[in-house]
Amino acid sequence: MLDVDTEQLEFQELVGRRLGFRAPGPATDRYCTGRMAFRSDGPPRYVPCPGRERAVASGQCATCADKDSFRFVHTVHRSGFVSRDLEKHVMQPHWLYLAAFANGTFKIGTAADTRKWGRLAEQGAICAQYVAHADDGKAVRVAEDLVTEAMGLRQAVRSAAKAASLCLPIDVDKLEAATAHRAQQVREMLTAAGISGCTPIDERWIPPVGREALSANISRVGYPADIATGSHGLEIETCVGQAVIATVGGETYVVDLAPLKGRRIEFGEFDSDLPAVQSALF
């Protein structure tokens, strides 16, 4: 969370706690989330939007988006050019992973060495395996594009789709086995391709504690209110990426918190006023 008055980032523990807040105004009333400034002489630094402007695209105002050099990271392997401020980040070792989500969808993705575990946790993966280790961000993105082209594996899955799939029964053990099988196919393809600076590896990602609870035979339904506006009171049980499993009045819901990006909220003893809903049966 970014404190509007102090412009300082605050990290809030969610699991096992009650999250009560109010989001005034319409859900479309969003503010710029600022940017990360990459430096050649130190770690990245968060820079709040200096004008506290409204967001226009990707959670940023036009000015912050223009200054955000990270948007060039995904094309460095094609352009061959790495700016001085991005060089430290791009040229560090990277990992190529295969992630599986609750509905059985697979995604191929990359993580910098410093973000190896956290990247997958933030993605909301249920199961995942690392399939290659690369010397730098260029080599890993060459491998990522090749896997997409040769095997049809996507590089992005919408947050709303990930959250919706958490409402259905999940056999984590079965998904783990399917992930291992698909990951081995990716490794075999990469071995045959022989990409310079990229070495296939076999390593399982260890998910956050509590992920196994998703296999429990508990009825979960999508949160039947717009989380980005109005008042809400959630008892948080589990976090899965940007979604949470929470209870309200004894009922268990899947709540996608992604729509809160850029919204201004007020913490407090607020409650949810929800209509009756029916559980997903199939």
pLDDT in tens, 226-237: 999 999 999 999
Q: Which domain holds residue 51?
A: 32-74
pLDDT per residue over 205-220, tens digit each? 999 887 777 877 677 8
What 8-state DSSP symbol labels residue 6? T
Going by pLDDT thresholds of 50, 70 and 90, the confidence category of residue 65 is: very high
87's enclosing H/E stretch is helix 84-90
Same domain, 202 and 121: yes
Helix (H, G, I), strand (E, B) or coil at 253: strand
Going by pLDDT thresholds of 50, 70 and 90, the confidence category of residue 278 is: low
Residue range 116-143: mean pLDDT, rounded:
96
> Residue 157's closest CA among 244, 256, 27?
256
Same domain, 250 and 281: yes
Cβ neighbours of 150 (radius 10 Å): 13
Say whether pLDDT at 145 is over 90.
Answer: yes
Query: Is 81 a member of any domain?
Result: no
Same domain, 126 and 17: no
Going by pLDDT thresholds of 50, 70 and 90, the confidence category of residue 25 is: very high
- The pLDDT assigned to 85 comes to 73
- The pLDDT assigned to 84 comes to 74
Same domain, 47 and 20: no
Total number of domains in the chain? 3
Same domain, 126 and 237: no
Cβ neighbours of 24 (radius 10 Å): 12
CB 173 within 8 A of CB 88: no
Q: Provide the whole-model pTM.
A: 0.89
- The pLDDT assigned to 277 comes to 62
Query: Is 79 a member of any domain?
Result: no
192's enclosing H/E stretch is helix 172-193
Same domain, 96 and 201: yes
- The pLDDT assigned to 203 comes to 98
Distance CA 234, CA 248 (A): 6
% of residues, the chain, pLDDT over 70: 95
Average pLDDT, the chain: 91
Same domain, 96 and 156: yes
Last residue of a domain, one of 155, 190, 213: 213
Distance CA 13, CA 202 (A): 33
Distance CA 127, CA 212 (A): 10
Query: Is 196 a member of any domain?
Result: yes
Same domain, 96 and 55: no
Last residue of a domain, one of 161, 192, 213: 213
